[in-house]
Structure 1
């Protein structure tokens, strides 16, 4: 995982120290130490050494080391936050439910008290592994392992979708019916909020999605952001997917939404280079499964029909365009200081055109 720097006001010793800063802290050490001691996480040791993980645009994640014990702490970013967004307690619930049933890290402790360090948080095990995005770890850099990376990615998703979510204690975690209808309705409404200009393709695709709703298979746990960049592979050959991360979008719904999203963000070697959804260009290398091979493996392993997979791919591209427009809006309105968000202006148009093109493609 990529690592960014800790700002001076991110970690403070006491709430009084944090109150003296312009921004609220992300970690307050003294109450955190008491919490770790209470839950037997390197109890009695000193301050944890904290290293931020990820790009800082999602929930805040720290790799921590205390008394020779490594663990991961995850909390929401600084506010203000949209309602229901960045719900780490919900995230910890699904991880605990899936322990022993899917490839997830074990949760050590959960704190629902937002006053303790300034936000709810949870602590989970650190799993050794690498994210595969731009390059391959040396141990996995062979055609055989490249193929296996894709196979493992599909197989872990099939395992997740096979979990009996009701028996796992996730009754009420999401609505098991009407998922695809709600997705189209919700994101078309979000477009009205995010839009900065007229993009007729967005509305045209929304109509096509609504007019061609598939009949969903029985509901499963849905990760919501399942892609190569949200899994870790172990450090040894043969390639083994050891854990799935970033569960903040998880719900109960249509499993094919996960697959449609996964293959949409998968780069085939003959795709145009540098597209707005090219997050893992390493999969262009020889040996990696192609997009249709991923779909075929999922179909064979899960037994689910792929008749409507084009619909789910279109949904994934369309939703991504709407998300990107929100980032672009923040950039041009001055509410975001990340210059990268300006690139989404053109990216939205590319994705909207791509989604519309897919609506007229043969199945």
Structure 2
């Protein structure tokens, strides 16, 4: 921290912050400027070291963009310092509607207009990310955009097959449909990979304004429209078939309004949104099933993973439902 010019002296004081299930996050008090430290858990320090440095690389690349984020202070790849690679970023004094809902009534519970602003703001966040010139900001080689869609179903099917221990209705239908409905044309860009209300923070001075996108561990260069599909997985719809979000989303913009907002702000067409929604739900089911399988087998100690079991079934059902009822023409 001294080497990166942070004001303060003495011993830094670390206080754990709650939130994610896969990494450790601490508030660091060091003089007049508190910052946030992010590192992998001790049991996964070595295999997650590269992920930490990838996250730090993304934050550094976003420095001069209009994507709301916590600015990178510095990164350390030397495991002798804290036992693993880690990075330090600025502290964003924001709030999360997901956490607010868990802790009791939210100021948005009685304010439909504010919830609408919240919804438009979160869409604007990924639209800004989709506009980033990833080559110009130094992310050449960060991902493999060529063949991105060709890899998705085989990759996540293989991921699932390694841990499969039960039937998951809907996934086979979704896999078959996704394989024949890939987008004919798309433009590579930077995507977050896990974009939802759980991974954003809002401004306390104006609670509906996005303050920062956080948790970049699944980011890559690929098709940014997958972020939109990921966001819409738990978005209220007139059909009512999507799993509910983790807080009151009544009075949010409608799905057509979200699509229009994203298309206008990002400059990307949204005609193939059924594909991206089905792919997002399919991928999410595969990712969560790995965690749930580890929990069932006694190889995981995070109690949050116990809830993954039902989430997987919900996501698989959504993926299958979209595949069965979509009017999107085959590629």
Question: TM-score normalised to the size of structure 1?
Answer: 0.81
Q: How many residues align?
A: 322
Question: What are the residue-to-residue correspondences of 1:159-308 with 2, within 5 Å?
Answer: 159-199=128-168, 201-237=170-206, 239-268=208-237, 271=240, 275=243, 278-284=244-250, 287-308=251-272
The Cα shift of 1:310 comes to 0.5
Q: 1:240 to 1:351 in 2, by over 3 A?
A: closer
Could you say what secondary structure the match of 2:19 adopts? coil
**In 1, are the aligned partners of 2:203 and 2:209 still within 8 Å (CA)?**
yes
Question: What are the residue-to-residue correspondences of 1:119-158 with 2, within 5 Å?
Answer: 119-133=84-98, 135=101, 138=107, 142-158=111-127
**In 2, are the aligned partners of 1:140 and 1:236 still within 8 Å (CA)?**
no
Q: 1:302 to 1:343 in 2, by over 3 A?
A: closer
The C-alpha deviation readout for 1:180-207, integer Å capped at 9, x for no partner, is 2212121011011121123363223212
The Cα shift of 1:81 comes to 6.3
| CA root-mean-square deviation | 2.4
Give 4+ residue runs of structure 1 displaced > 4 Å after superposition.
Answer: 81-86
Question: What are the residue-to-residue correspondences of 1:26-37 with 2, within 5 Å?
Answer: 36-37=1-2
The C-alpha deviation readout for 1:294-342, integer Å capped at 9, x for no partner, is 1221122223222210011011111121122212211221112344433
Q: Which 5+ residue runs of structure 2 have no aligned equivalent?
A: none
Q: 1:216 to 1:46 in 2, by over 3 A?
A: farther
**In 2, are the aligned partners of 1:86 and 1:248 still within 8 Å (CA)?**
no
The C-alpha deviation readout for 1:238-281, integer Å capped at 9, x for no partner, is 621111111111110101101000111324587469x4xx4432
The Cα shift of 1:83 comes to 4.8
Residue of structure 2 aligned with 1:335, choices 299, 305, 318 = 299
The Cα shift of 1:164 comes to 0.8
2:313 paired with 1:349: yes
Aligned mates of 1:111, 1:239 — CA distance in 2: 34
**In 2, are the aligned partners of 1:263 and 1:295 still within 8 Å (CA)?**
no
Q: 1:359 to 1:81 in 2, by over 3 A?
A: farther
Q: 1:39 to 1:155 in 2, by over 3 A?
A: same
Larger radius of gyration between Structure 1 and Structure 2 = 1
Aligned mates of 1:106, 1:340 — CA distance in 2: 29
